[in-house]
Structure 1
Amino acid sequence: MAKHSDISWKKDHPCTLSSNSVEKALRMVQSARSHYEEIAVEHIFDQISHAEKAIQTAEEFGEHLDIVEQNKKQLKQVKQQLSEFQKE
């Protein structure tokens, strides 16, 4: 089994992956607001789904649950922003 450096381990940790997924979804919503394209919205839904799966994996991993909870709240905000954006 290959050894991971501290940086590699942190990068691949389920909690980090879920945080990165949520942040990417947020950036995508913000970008779509300024440059609307139908395909961009489809990609946002895909990213939200990816973030939900990453959060579920992080929950199952069972560490840093405070960060996982924070990611869940942030993803909920992303969904609300997307909903508001689609109503415009």
Structure 2
Amino acid sequence: MAKHSDTSWKKDHPSTLLSNSVQKADRAVKQAMSHPEEIAVEHAFNSISHAKNALSNAEHRHEHMDTVEQNKDQLELIRQQLVEADENVKE
């Protein structure tokens, strides 16, 4: 019988990891938009980078491509929002 691990298999599944990463990046971008400070923007860029890595992994493994495409579109939208927030910080 298999041992129970501390983390669920769903957390390690590429499409789930992608969805979770995009949600985390979305929250980080919203934080950066509402509190446009350099550290918040940097954190959001890091979250987006992590989500892009998860996207690449999910695409490589051909995981639930409809969900992957939705997450890809959402990731692009939040990336654009972050670029705008970053421009506001630099002004």
Q: TM-score range by the shorter chain?
A: 0.7 to 0.9
% identical aligned pairs: 62
| Equivalent in the alignment of 1:75 | 75
Distance 1:83 1:70 in 2: 20
Q: Are residues 1:51 and 2:51 paired?
A: yes
Aligned length: 87
How far apart are 1:65 and its partner, in Å? 0.8
How far apart are 1:3 and its partner, in Å? 5.9
Distance 2:3 2:20 in 1: 23
Distance 2:68 2:56 in 1: 9
Q: Deviations over 1:45-67 (max 9, x none)?
A: 11111110000001111120111
* Structure 2 unaligned residues grouped into runs of 5+: none
Distance 2:11 2:51 in 1: 16
Q: AA paired with 1:77?
A: L
Distance 2:52 2:17 in 1: 11
Distance 2:82 2:46 in 1: 13
What is the aligned-residue RMSD (CA, Å)?
2.2
How far apart are 1:36 and its partner, in Å? 2.3
Distance 2:49 2:11 in 1: 20
Which segments of structure 1 move beyond 6 Å, counting only runs of 4 or more?
none
- Structure 2 CA distance for partners of 1:32 and 1:65, relative to 1, 3 Å: same
What SS does structure 2 have at the residue aligned with 1:20?
A: helix
